[in-house]
């Protein structure tokens, strides 16, 4: 009993590995590509948002008195959007920038990124060659830069804005839990699929065993009249008395009828199996 139970478990595991593992592999690949596509799309939207906010800020500044540095600096407070901004006058001097000291609740990692973006803006404005990565990284932070002219009655200014986005680093835990949940559901589904295949296999085995047992029983039943016919046939040939031959012939005919009945039963059983 224990041997059969162990054998059944091994059979079930083999079926699960044969059908479940390919499905799980495809699921992992599909999850990766879907997640990658979603993250790239979200990062692209975030990059578009940085550009949109920069345009709106440029329009707002064009209507302000840019000599009021405190008011301009307040407008350049873009911490709510994970952005920084620097305003330059036409002569190249710095007119105002985001006051990072107003970001007391900002995490240290983001404060470092804001400072890096400001340094990059200063280098770009100074005409230095700076490598700006235009390729979107789905699984890391991305930096977005925008430059817009600001026309006022006081002269021409240039607004530089930069923003940092990172959907994956920010929501890593939630995305992992979500992906793990989907993967767990697929695992359960593969187990159900393997179980259905296993039950079907067991049913087929039981049917084949029943069929084999039935055929063996019919063959055994057929063998008995054949042996009787063989015996009476030998007696029939050996006997000279006419009355004995009639008896043997009667017995032979009786067993032939039995054989016909068994053959008909075998044919009927075969027809029923074909219908199944």
CATH number of the CATH domain containing 214: 1.10.287.130
Q: 140 and 40: one domain?
A: yes
Q: Write down the mean pLDDT value for the chain.
A: 81
The percent of residues above 90 in pLDDT, for the chain, comes to 21
36 found inside a domain: yes
For 256, the domain range is 188-275
Could you tell me which of 178, 149, 39 has the C-alpha nearest to residue 88?
Answer: 149
H or E element at residue 241: none
Residue labelled with tokens 């440029």: 58
Quick check: helix, strand or coil at residue 272? Answer: helix
Q: 163 and 227: one domain?
A: no
Within 8 A by CB and 6+ apart from 237, the residues are none
Residues in the chain: 276
Distances (CA, A) of 181 to 42, 175, 177: 22, 10, 6
pLDDT digits (tens, 9 = 90+) for 254-269: 777 777 777 777 777 7
pLDDT digits (tens, 9 = 90+) for 110-143: 788 888 898 999 888 888 877 776 678 888 899 9
Q: Domain boundary residue among 107, 139, 170?
A: 170
CATH number of the CATH domain containing 20: 3.30.450.20
Distances (CA, A) of 153 to 57, 130, 150: 17, 32, 10
Overall pTM > 0.95: no
pLDDT, residue 56, reads: 93
Q: 219 and 164: one domain?
A: no
- How many DSSP H helices and E strands does the chain contain? 6, 4
Q: 153 and 198: one domain?
A: no
Q: Domain boundary residue among 170, 202, 235?
A: 170
For the residues of 194-232, what is the DSSP string, one character each? Answer: HHHHHHHHHHHHHHHHHHHHHHHHHHHHHHHHHHHHHHH
pLDDT digits (tens, 9 = 90+) for 37-76: 999 999 999 889 999 999 999 999 999 888 888 888 888 8
């Amino acid at each position: 009993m224990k041997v059969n139970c162990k054998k059944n478990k091994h059979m079930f595991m083999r079926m699960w590995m044969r059908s479940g593992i390919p499905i799980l592999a495809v699921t992992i690949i599909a999850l990766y590509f879907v997640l990658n596509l979603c993250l790239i799309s979200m990062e692209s939207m975030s990059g578009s948002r940085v550009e949109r906010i920069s345009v709106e800020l440029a329009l707002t500044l064009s209507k302000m008195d840019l000599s009021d540095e405190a008011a301009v600096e307040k407008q350049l407070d873009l911490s709510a959007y994970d952005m920084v901004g620097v305003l330059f006058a036409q002569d190249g001097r710095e007119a105002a920038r985001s006051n990072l000291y107003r970001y007391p609740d900002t995490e240290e990692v983001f404060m470092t990124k804001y400072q890096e973006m400001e340094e990059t803006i200063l280098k770009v404005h100074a005409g230095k060659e700076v490598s700006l990565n235009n390729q979107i990284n789905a699984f890391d932070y991305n930096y977005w830069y925008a430059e817009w002219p600001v026309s006022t009655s006081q002269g021409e200014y240039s607004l530089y804005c930069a923003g940092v986005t990172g959907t994956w680093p920010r929501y890593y835990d939630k995305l992992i839990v979500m992906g793990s949940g989907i993967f767990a559901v697929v695992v359960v589904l593969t187990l159900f699929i393997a179980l259905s295949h296993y039950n079907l296999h067991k049913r087929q085995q039981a049917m084949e065993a029943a069929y084999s047992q039935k055929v063996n029983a019919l063959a055994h039943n057929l063998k008995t009249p054949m042996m009787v016919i063989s015996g009476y046939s030998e007696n029939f040939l050996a006997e000279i008395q006419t009355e004995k031959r009639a008896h043997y012939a009667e017995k032979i005919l009786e067993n032939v009828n039995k054989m016909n009945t068994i053959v008909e039963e075998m044919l009927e059983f075969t027809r029923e199996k074909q219908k199944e």
